[in-house]
């Protein structure tokens, strides 16, 4: 994501050290899932028996238990069956590679070419409690420390108690400035100030935090539309990215919440937080399949550096290692 955002191209080569660091973070995020249900899924393939219908039934049951979701599970199982038939695979052990290929394909079907812009305006949305604030701080930290970019935050979640203070605290830890007007202020005024400051200071990236109140979806829809219009008065093609933050520990409820939020805003990308806190992990497949948006980032822990660019192959390999 960072490569595409700043012009290095999705397939630009990474250093061996950088690639290893990303893979280690993904391994860290999937540790619980790998030792839980996905460990059981891997165990299904540990024998050299002929493939039977009972095998497919067991695989389907475990995938559903792992939060992959009923529809996505059926899709994966049917696609894996077809791939096995096309490749003449008749033994259980050999079918593991077929499943992994279909899992990777779920993510790779979702592609997007982000705009190249300065300032690059990133609007962050998600229900309260999903981890938006910490995700924003981790992203800002990574952009500044690892990529040398100037970042400005705008605290437009002015309705939730202490939201502004939390963002200010995290911004201080990340070493980036933040535009605020305090709790109860007009979010539109905060966004206006943020865009004005980003242009005046020639910053590379403006990240805007927003409120996530699903119980007032109609109001939320109007508010987000208002914020987008304010941004576009200054930068006509912005926001360049609308990032939806989903808490992995909420499972299928997180997918339902995400679908509801997508009715209020045009989401372009997804970040999955707290993936390290769940023993299931299959929620990522349900997100990619049901929401039809690419996963860009995953939270891999509680530290400021615990953020990874999502790599579908590394993710699947880690889950089923």
Q: Which residues are annotated as a binding site for GTP?
A: 126-133, 209-213, 273-276
Dihedral sign computed on CA atoms, order 133, 264, 203, 234: negative
H or E element, residue 153 = strand 151-155
Cite the annotated binding site by residue number: 126-133, 209-213, 273-276
d(CA 196, CA 210): 18
Around 279, how many Cα atoms within 13 Å sit in the side-chain half-sphere?
7
CB atoms within 10 A of CB 226: 14
d(CA 114, CA 153): 20
Q: Return the residue matching tokens 């690639």.
A: 19
Around 241, how many Cα atoms within 13 Å sit in the side-chain half-sphere?
32
Peptide bond into 119 cis (omega under 30): yes
Task: Report yes or no: 172 and 147 within 8 Å, Cβ to Cβ.
Answer: no
Alpha helices in 129-282 (DSSP H): 132-145, 163-174, 187-201, 217-234, 252-262
């Amino acid at each position: 994501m960072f490569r595409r955002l700043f012009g290095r191209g999705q397939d630009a080569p990474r250093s061996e050290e950088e690639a290893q660091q990303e893979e280690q973070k993904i391994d860290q995020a999937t540790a619980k899932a790998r030792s839980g249900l996905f460990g059981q899924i891997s165990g299904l393939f540990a024998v050299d028996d002929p493939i039977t219908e009972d095998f497919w039934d067991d695989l389907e049951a475990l995938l559903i238990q792992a939060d992959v979701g009923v529809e996505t599970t059926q899709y994966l199982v049917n696609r894996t069956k077809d791939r096995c038939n096309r490749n003449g695979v008749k033994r259980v052990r050999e079918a593991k590679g077929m499943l992994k290929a279909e899992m990777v394909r779920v993510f790779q079907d979702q592609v997007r070419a982000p705009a190249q812009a300065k300032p690059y305006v990133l609007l962050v949305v998600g229900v309260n409690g999903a981890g938006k604030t910490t995700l924003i701080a981790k992203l800002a930290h990574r952009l500044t420390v690892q990529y040398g970019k100037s970042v400005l935050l705008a605290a437009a979640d002015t309705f939730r108690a202490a939201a502004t203070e939390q963002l200010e605290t995290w911004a201080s830890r990340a070493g980036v400035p933040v535009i605020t007007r305090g709790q109860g202020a007009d979010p539109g005024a905060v966004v206006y100030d943020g865009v004005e400051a980003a242009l005046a200071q020639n910053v590379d990236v403006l990240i805007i935090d927003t409120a996530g109140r699903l119980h007032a979806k109609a109001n939320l829809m109007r508010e987000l539309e208002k914020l987008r219009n304010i941004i576009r008065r200054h930068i006509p093609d912005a926001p360049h990215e609308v990032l939806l933050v989903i808490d992995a520990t909420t499972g299928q409820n997180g997918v339902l919440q995400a679908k509801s939020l997508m009715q209020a805003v045009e989401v372009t990308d997804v970040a999955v937080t707290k993936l390290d806190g769940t023993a299931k992990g299959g929620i990522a497949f349900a997100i990619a399949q049901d929401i039809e948006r690419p996963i860009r980032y995953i939270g891999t822990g509680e530290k400021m550096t615990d953020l990874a660019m999502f790599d579908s192959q590394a993710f699947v390999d880690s889950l089923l290692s």
